[in-house]
Structure 1
Amino acid sequence: MKIKYKLILITVLFFIVTINIVAGIAINQYNSLFIQREIKTAKNEMNFIMNSIENYAKDLQARGGIYNKDTLISIIEIYKKYYISQDISLDYSDDNMENNVFIDTEEGNIIIQSIFSEPFESISLVFKKSFQDIYDLQKNWNSFFIKIYLLLSIILAIVLMLIISRLFKPLDNLIHKTDEIIIENSNERIPIIDNDEVGELSTKFNIMLDLLNENMETIKESSIQKQWLLDNLTHEMRTPLTSIQGFSEYLMRANASEEDKLVALTHINEEANRLKQLGDKMFALMTLKKESLNIVKLNSYEVFNTIRRIEFQRLKEMNIDLKVNIQADYFYGDEQLILVLLTNLVDNSINASKYNSRIEVDIYSKDDKNIIKVSDEGQGIDSKDLSNIFQPFYKADKNRSAIYRGAGLGLSLCKKIVELHDGSIEVESQKDIGTTIYVSLKSI
Structure 2
Amino acid sequence: MKFGWKIFFLCMGIYVISLTITGMVVTENTYKSLLKKDIERSLEEESNLHSTLALYLLNNQRIAQEKIELKNYSKSMVDMVKTDRNYLEIFDEKLNLLATNAPRAWFFSRDELDVALKGQKNFVLKRDKDQLYLFVTNVLEINEEKIVLSLIKDITHVNNHRKEQYLLFIRTGLIGLAFVAIITWGLSTFLLKPFRELSLTTQNIASGNYHVRAKVNRKDEVGLLAEQFNTMADKIEQKINQLEEEGQRQQRFIDNLTHELRTPLTSIIGYAEYLLKAKYNPEIFQKSLNYIYSEGNRMLKVAKTLMNMILVREKPLQLKEVQVMPLLIEVRNIMEVKGEKAGIVLEVVGEDTRILLDRDLLKVAITNLVDNAINASNAGQKITIGVEKIQEKVCIFVADEGKGMEECETKKITEPFYRIDKSRSRKEGGIGLGLAICYQIADEHGAELEIESKIGIGTKIKIKFTKMLQVRSNLDKIPCYNNICKEKI
The corresponding residue for 2:73 is 75
Q: Which structure: greater helix fraction?
A: 1
What are structure 2's unaligned runs of at least 5 residues? 96-112, 117-121, 274-285, 468-489
Matched residue type, 2:81: Y
Find the partner of 2:223 among 193, 199, 203: 199
Are 1:395 and 1:401, in contact at CA under 8 Å, matched by a contact in 2? Answer: no
2: distance between equivalents of 1:83 and 1:295?
121
Deviations 1:78-128 (A, max 9, x none): 222342443222222333432231101343100122122354464311221
| Counterpart mapping for 1:235-246 below 5 A | 235-238=259-262
Are 1:381 and 1:396, in contact at CA under 8 Å, matched by a contact in 2? Answer: no
Matched residue type, 1:60: N
TM-score (normalised: structure 1)? 0.71
The corresponding residue for 2:419 is 394
Matched residue type, 1:53: L
Find the partner of 2:177 among 122, 147, 153: 153
What are structure 1's unaligned runs of at least 5 residues? 250-259, 354-358
Are 2:453 and 2:460, in contact at CA under 8 Å, matched by a contact in 1? Answer: yes
Find the partner of 1:364 among 369, 387, 396: 387
Shift of 1:230: 0.6
2: distance between equivalents of 1:234 and 1:394?
15
Deviations 1:268-327 (A, max 9, x none): 995674243242367699x89xxx999997542675599699x79x99xx9xx9986662
Deviations 1:222-246 (A, max 9, x none): 2112101111102212356678889
| Counterpart mapping for 1:35-184 below 5 A | 35-64=35-64, 66-68=66-68, 71-93=69-91, 94-95=94-95, 96-99=113-116, 100-106=122-128, 107-120=131-144, 122-179=146-203, 182=206
The corresponding residue for 1:255 is none
The corresponding residue for 1:424 is 450
Paired residues in the alignment total 416
CA distance 1:206–1:400, change in 2 (3 Å): closer
CA distance 1:269–1:180, change in 2 (3 Å): closer
2: distance between equivalents of 1:124 and 1:387?
118
Overall identity of the aligned pairs, in %:
22
CA distance 1:119–1:273, change in 2 (3 Å): farther
Matched residue type, 2:307: D
Aligned to 1:194, the other structure's residue is in SS state coil
2: distance between equivalents of 1:26 and 1:385?
85
Shift of 1:366: 5.4
CA distance 1:429–1:269, change in 2 (3 Å): same
The corresponding residue for 2:354 is 330
Matched residue type, 1:57: L
Are 2:23 and 2:166, in contact at CA under 8 Å, matched by a contact in 1? Answer: no
TM-score (normalised: structure 2)? 0.66
| Two-structure CA RMSD over aligned residues (Å) | 5.1
| Counterpart mapping for 1:250-289 below 5 A | 270=297, 273-280=300-307
Matched residue type, 1:80: V
Shift of 1:145: 2.7
CA distance 1:43–1:384, change in 2 (3 Å): closer
Are 1:244 and 1:268, in contact at CA under 8 Å, matched by a contact in 2? Answer: yes
2: distance between equivalents of 1:337 and 1:199?
52
CA distance 1:388–1:26, change in 2 (3 Å): closer
